[in-house]
Amino acid sequence: MDKLIFTITDAGRQAIINASNTGTEKVEIKSVGIGSSYYITSPEQTDIHDEIKRITSIGGAVISPDTIHVSAKDDSPDEYVVHTVGLYTDKNILFAVYSRRMPIINKSSATVMLISSDITFKSLDTANITFGDVVFINPPASESVVGVSRFATAEEVEEGLDPAIAVSAKRLKGELDKKANLDSPNLTGTPTAPTTAESDNSQKIATTAFIKQVLLAYAKLASPNFTGKPTAPTADQSSNDTQLATTAFVRSAIAALVDSSPGALDTLNELAAALGDDPNFATTMTNALAGKQPLDGTLTNLSGKDVPRFSNTLV
């Protein structure tokens, strides 16, 4: 049922004030009167118009410092249409009244009439209100009040704004199944996360954008294009494989090639100049040596004689 906005009568308000001042007797809501006609209610009235009957099967509770909840039930075979509802105290004082043009209840003989509503007081303390023999009570449920609540729809669960509705176990499980665990989550679809700075070195999630910007500072394994001053380990001089040759390796190899020659012959250019820049130096030397007399014992002996003696020797 929709929330009914009651008018607190002057007599009802005074009863609350008297109870607050004396601290002896509380105001007890004892019965609910129902009327068949609609009219504009006022605080001055002392009875409802066109009363059908009084219902004493009521229940109620104070659910907050300024709000009470009242329920009334009629399971008799009576038939009637209700336009007005009044709350009466144990002293037969009309405490509050509500009336509207559209029927509040349309009871047939086979149905049970149930009226249930919250009543809010703007300037009265509900601590001094009690109820008679509580046969039943259906206040709206909350974290501190046992009562009636309805289950939320999927949209209401998603919004999460209404504190007065409940969530079924099935609906809750369905919503939880859409979420990832905080511990070792198993993400699906296309998860996203903020991209941290390239210099970040923490336990934050690394996005694809972060990985790409970090990889820009590294060379490819295939045909890398180095910049700046790349370095590498210097291989041993005996190495003859596909290791990178550093400048230190090359200089060591060149030093071994010239075998620590003197400064005037420690470059290829200087060696070439010493050989007369002759690219066919070996052939040139072979031809030059071909025009020379072989050195033997006869020529050696002759080399020490003078010409006359040389002539006699020849004779």
- Predicted local distance difference test score (pLDDT) of residue 226: 85
34 confidence band (pLDDT: 50, 70, 90): very high
The tens digit of pLDDT for each residue in 54-66 reads: 998 887 777 777 6
CA 221 to CA 219: how far, in whole Å? 7
How is 142-207 classified by DSSP, letter by letter? -SSS--B--BPPHHHHHH---TT-B--HHHHHHHHHTSPPSSS----S----PPPPTT--SSS---
Lookup: tokens for 264: 């005037």
CA 105 to CA 138: how far, in whole Å? 17
Is residue 49 pLDDT above 90, yes or no?
Answer: yes
Is residue 125 pLDDT above 80, yes or no?
Answer: no
Q: Residues 98-124: what's their mean pLDDT?
A: 83
Is residue 257 pLDDT above 60, yes or no?
Answer: yes
Which tops the pLDDT comparison, 28 or 9?
A: 9
CA nearest to 79, candidates 31, 117, 113: 113
CA 211 to CA 195: how far, in whole Å? 9
The tens digit of pLDDT for each residue in 182-207 reads: 888 888 888 888 988 888 888 888 89
Is residue 135 pLDDT above 90, yes or no?
Answer: no
Which tops the pLDDT comparison, 311 or 176?
A: 176
Which tops the pLDDT comparison, 267 or 68?
A: 68
- Predicted local distance difference test score (pLDDT) of residue 152: 84
The tens digit of pLDDT for each residue in 76-110 reads: 999 999 999 999 998 999 999 999 999 998 999 98
- Predicted local distance difference test score (pLDDT) of residue 234: 92
pTM of the model as a whole: 0.45
Show Cβ contacts of residue 5 under 8 Å, excluding neighbours closer than 6 positions: 98
CA nearest to 274, candidates 261, 287, 290: 261
